[in-house]
Amino acid sequence: MEIDRNDALQMYRWMVITRVFEERVVALHKQRGVPELPHACIGQEAVGVGVCYGLHRDDVVLPSLRTRAAFFIKGSSLRTSMAAMFGKDTPECGGKNTSHHIGDPELGLIAGSGIVGGSISVCVGAALALKRIKPQRVAVSFFGDGATNRADFHESLNLAAVLKLPIVFVCENNQYAYSTALSRAVAIPRLAIRADSYGFPGITVDGNDVLAVHKAAREAVERAATQNTPTLLECVTYRWRGHSERDVSGSYRTVEEIEEWKRKCPIERLKKTLLDRGVLNESSDAGIWNEALEMVEDSVAYMESAPYPLPEHTLHGVYAEAR
């Protein structure tokens, strides 16, 4: 599958927007603290972008801690994410959700939970609903490598296979679950081979190559939509920052290892390809970064001016109304 030049350019743009947003959040946290402790996805942008770009509005996505791009590409604004981080009162979150758990049924976004692996089974439920009421649409479940050692993962993959559900399981394998290296947690060379146990394809891709991620994801979505066959798509990548901004010592990784992965930056990599193919030049590149900066500053201004939730609204959306 050849990827259209404009699509490649758009994916580049979404990676830049995600990077600038995350860097701004990290800077804000250093300056004054961000009430929602930031868990940056810097270095991993190609996974969320490559998978979510081109999804249908009615396809359902359940993002993980590192899938910032999924919210933006599905149509949730930068303003919503930034305001959620500061607990501000927005129509989408009302000050109650973290920016990782924004749900919006109109956009096909399901609010996940903070329990590692806990959202995978919820996404399987969404896939079952889609199969019944919206044939041809698919569910996409994002999670980290650490989540693949949870029972939820195995139960969910098995059930999706047995029920023949239209779902793509995307493992953002950044090779660490907080401080635990994947090599210390599993004894297999690739996580994708776990799909063999359940009877559907498991594919490993270079998660820093957005075009490879996109191609594999498109094929998986097609398989889900037309054959009700799930796929486990393992995207091998790396987080540049600590698990969260509280993880400052990083003593479980070497500086050399981090530097080596920074040299594999997914944005720099696609930029080079786009420059070589004449799709991008230095001037249009600067335009993309400037646009991203403007979008992010707009989200910060929105967050600053948004009110905090009213105390009397504390229980709104928490309990169902009595009938």
Ligand X SMILES: Cc1ncc(C[n+]2csc(CCOP(=O)(O)OP(=O)(O)O)c2C)c(N)n1
Contact characters 10-49, ligand X, x per CB under 6 A: ----------------------------------------
Least gap, CB of 30 to ligand X (angstroms): 20
The reply to whether 146 sits near ligand X by the rule CB under 6 A is yes
Q: What angle do CA 249, 84, 306 make, to 5 degrees?
A: 125
Any contact of residue 178 with ligand X (CB under 6 A)? yes
Stretch 81-120: interaction string toward ligand X, x if CB under 6 A: ---------------------------------xxx----
Half-sphere exposure of 316 (CA within 13 A, CB side): 15
The tokens describing 52, both together, are: 């979510």
Residues binding ligand X: number (CB under 6 A): 15
- On the 0-12 / 13-18 / 19+ scale of CB atoms within 10 A, 235 is buried
Cβ nearer to ligand X, comparing 239 with 271: 239
Between CA 226 and CA 295, with CA 75 as vertex, the angle to 5 degrees is 145
The answer to whether 194 touches 131, Cβ cutoff 8 Å, is no
- Nearest CB to ligand X, comparing residues 80 and 174: 174
174 binds ligand X (CB under 6 A): yes
CB of 116: closest distance to ligand X in angstroms? 4
> Least Å distance between CB 88 and ligand X?
24
Q: Which stretch binds ligand X (CB under 6 A): 1-9, 175-183, 191-199, 283-291?
A: 175-183
Nearer to ligand X, 33 or 114 (CB): 114
With CB under 5 to 8 Å by kind, the binding choice for 38 among Mg ion, ligand X, none is none
Exactly one of 92, 145, 209, 234 binds ligand X (CB under 6 A); which one?
145
Q: Look at the chain and count its residues.
A: 323
| Contacted by 115, from ligand X, Mg ion, none: CB < 5 to 8 Å by type | ligand X
Report the nearest approach of ligand X to the CB of residue 163 (Å): 25
List C-alpha distances in Å: 201 to 57, 107, 196: 25, 28, 7
Closest approach of Mg ion to the CB of residue 7, in Å: 28
Distances (CA, A) of 120 to 78, 157, 160, 203, 262: 25, 9, 10, 18, 29
- Phi then psi for residue 114, to 5 deg, are -85, 0
Query: Tokens for 317?
Result: 């959306």
Contact region with ligand X (CB under 6 A), list: 52-60, 76-84, 143-151, 205-213: 143-151
Which residue of 19, 24, 29, 66 would you call a contact of ligand X, by CB under 6 A? Answer: 66
DSSP string, 219-285: HHHHHHHHH---EEEEEE---SS-SSTT----TTS-HHHHHHHHTT-HHHHHHHHHHHTTS--HHHH
Q: Chain-centre distance of CA 303, in angstroms? A: 22
- Of 112, 199, 107, 119, the C-alpha closest to 158 is 199
With CB under 6 A as the contact rule, the residue among 176, 198, 238, 261 that binds ligand X is 176
- As a whole number of angstroms, the distance between CA 279 and CA 294 comes to 23
Among 16, 147, 224, 280, binds ligand X (CB under 6 A): 147
> Which CB atom, from 17 or from 177, has the smaller least distance to ligand X?
177
* Angle of CA points 234, 242, 110, to nearest 5°: 50
Residues contributing to the site for Mg ion (CB under 5 A): 144-145, 174, 177
List residues binding ligand X (CB under 6 A).
65-66, 114-116, 144-147, 172, 174, 176-178, 243
